[in-house]
A and B are shown apart, each in its own frame.
Chain A
Amino acid sequence: MLDQLLSHWNYIIVVLLMMIGLFIVISSMNLVKKLIGLSLFQTSVFLFYISLGKIEGGTAPIIITSGHGDHGSYPSHDILYSNPLPHVLILTAIVVGVATTALGLSLVLRIKASFNSIEEDEILAEKRVMKSEGRSS
């Protein structure tokens, strides 16, 4: 049991981090804190993918070349590399994540300009007031 706990330690912590992120997103009323929770969630997913790509005793997937023959250097074949595929996927995801964060922040700024608040319940109350005023006039 302890063995399994140690060998799956990363995955367990990743799940805990994800749940903390999810909890912040659902429970917090503040829009900025929600965005931070979203990025916590995101980073923990990155960590999950990278953990999957790790090979025990492997090294970074950059081909180590050796020797200088007539045709230049050639790769050494007896070196163990970690899996490059999750790294590529996560590189893409990190950059996309920042793009979505920027879009979310700009939406928060617009909400602040329109409602003068970034607390979800205040915004909803304000909206309700606006709706009832619109109906009565």
Chain B
Amino acid sequence: MAAMFIDISLVGFMLAIAIMIMFSHRLFAIIVMSGAYSLISAAMFVNLDAVDVAFTEAAVGAGFSTVLFLAAMAWLPAEEKRDKALVVLPLMICVVVGALLLWGVMSLPPLGDPSSVVHHHVAPRYLAESYDKLHIPNVVTTVLASYRGFDTLGETIVIFTAGIGVLLVLTGATGRNPSQDENVEDEDEK
């Protein structure tokens, strides 16, 4: 019951922050609020037993990407120009898509149901066998690095490509702007 209460209040917080982001026009405030949103989602992940994901989200989502945004803001205007955002068409699209998704979501098994289909494919095998085979207590690590090692290799390739992309875009053919190089270094640290 306590876990459920924490769960409900945390997602409530996330919803409140998202709505504040939607109505805010100051970009610094928006960036800091999205950092807070990531941090609360990390707390949410701990509550849902995903400790590794929580670590990563807190470090990378709340920390690193906020820093990236703030670094980029040094060369960008701090205010969004108001009163020209589209409203009607996007709202209609969101309401339709949201209604369809809600319809789909309501037929999912309830949260935490152990008989849900998700829990009956390879996951039980990972939990039962991985410790005897590889002697690593953390199953997430085992799956990430061993059972799904190729996925992780693919992820590394994606990050490498993104790094090259950032370098090329920022130091492209029209000459180098020294003020933009700091951001490139940020990406290299990754």
List the interface of chain A (C-beta within 8 A of B).
Answer: 4, 6-24, 26-30, 32-33, 35-37, 39-40, 43, 46-47, 50-65, 75, 80-88, 90-92, 94-103, 105-110, 112-114, 118-119, 121
Closest Cβ–Cβ distance, residue A117 to chain B (whole Å): 8
A–B pairs, 15, beta carbons within 8 Å:
A7-B111, A12-B102, A14-B105, A19-B101, A20-B19, A27-B91, A32-B69, A46-B41, A56-B113, A63-B139, A84-B139, A87-B53, A90-B53, A99-B163, A110-B172
Contact of A17 with B155 at beta-carbon distance under 8 Å, contacts A85-B126, A119-B81 already known:
no
What residues on A are CB-neighbors of B130 within 8 Å?
63
Closest Cβ–Cβ distance, residue B133 to chain A (whole Å): 12
Contact of B159 (CB < 8 Å), options: A50, A56, A99, A108: A99
- Taking chain A's interface residues, is the majority helix, strand, or loop, or is none over half, making it mixed? helix
Residue pair A94, B60 in contact (C-beta under 8 Å): yes
What range describes how many residues of B lie at the interface? 35 or more
What residues on A are CB-neighbors of B12 within 8 Å?
13
List the interface of chain B (C-beta within 8 A of A).
Answer: 4, 7-8, 11-12, 14-15, 18-19, 21-22, 27, 30-31, 34, 37-38, 41, 44-45, 48-53, 56-57, 60-61, 64-65, 68-69, 72-73, 75-77, 80-81, 84-87, 89-91, 93-95, 97-98, 101-102, 105-106, 108, 110-114, 116, 118-119, 121-123, 126-127, 130-132, 137-140, 143-144, 148, 151-152, 155, 158-159, 162-163, 165-166, 169-170, 172, 174, 177, 180, 183-184, 186-187, 190
Complex Cα spacing A97 to B155, Å = 10
Closest Cβ–Cβ distance, residue A71 to chain B (whole Å): 11
What residues on A are CB-neighbors of B112 within 8 Å?
54-58
Complex Cα spacing A81 to B19, Å = 34
Complex Cα spacing A99 to B11, Å = 26
Q: A54-B49, A56-B111, A91-B56 are in contact. List 6 more A-B contacts (CB 8 A).
A: A4-B106, A81-B49, A86-B118, A90-B50, A92-B151, A95-B60
